[in-house]
Amino acid sequence: MRKSPWILVICVVVGGLFGSLLGEILLAVFPPGIIQNVFTQAVHPGLSPPVTLDLWLLKVTFGFTLKMNLLTFIGILLGIFVYKQI
């Protein structure tokens, strides 16, 4: 039976959200130090500043930023693993 690509997207998003949540919990629980730096150091890829398209009648602004840390990447990989097991 063929798997839907939407299931993969859902697994990756849920895995990423779970990893980000776990990273925020570790940030609050552990004191500042090596463990907190390794697991909670984040990168922020995205469009900064946002891009604006002005069409005289309509003005549209496009922009996004992702906050990704090591646990987010681990959660995404876990989501892909779960997708392969389904």
pTM of the model: 0.77
Total domains in the fold of the chain: 1
Q: What would the pLDDT profile of 6-31 be if each residue is shown by its tens digit?
A: 999 999 999 999 999 998 888 888 88
Boundaries of domain holding 71: 5-46+54-85
Q: What would the pLDDT profile of 27-79 be if each residue is shown by its tens digit?
A: 888 888 887 788 778 888 888 888 999 998 999 999 988 888 889 999 999 99
Residue 48: count other Cβ atoms within 10 Å of its Cβ: 9
- Tell me the CA distances in angstroms from 26 to 33, 52, 82, one per residue in order: 12, 37, 23
Distance of CA 53 to the CA centre of its chain: 26
Residue 38: count other Cβ atoms within 10 Å of its Cβ: 12
CA dist., res. 28 & res. 37, Å (int): 12
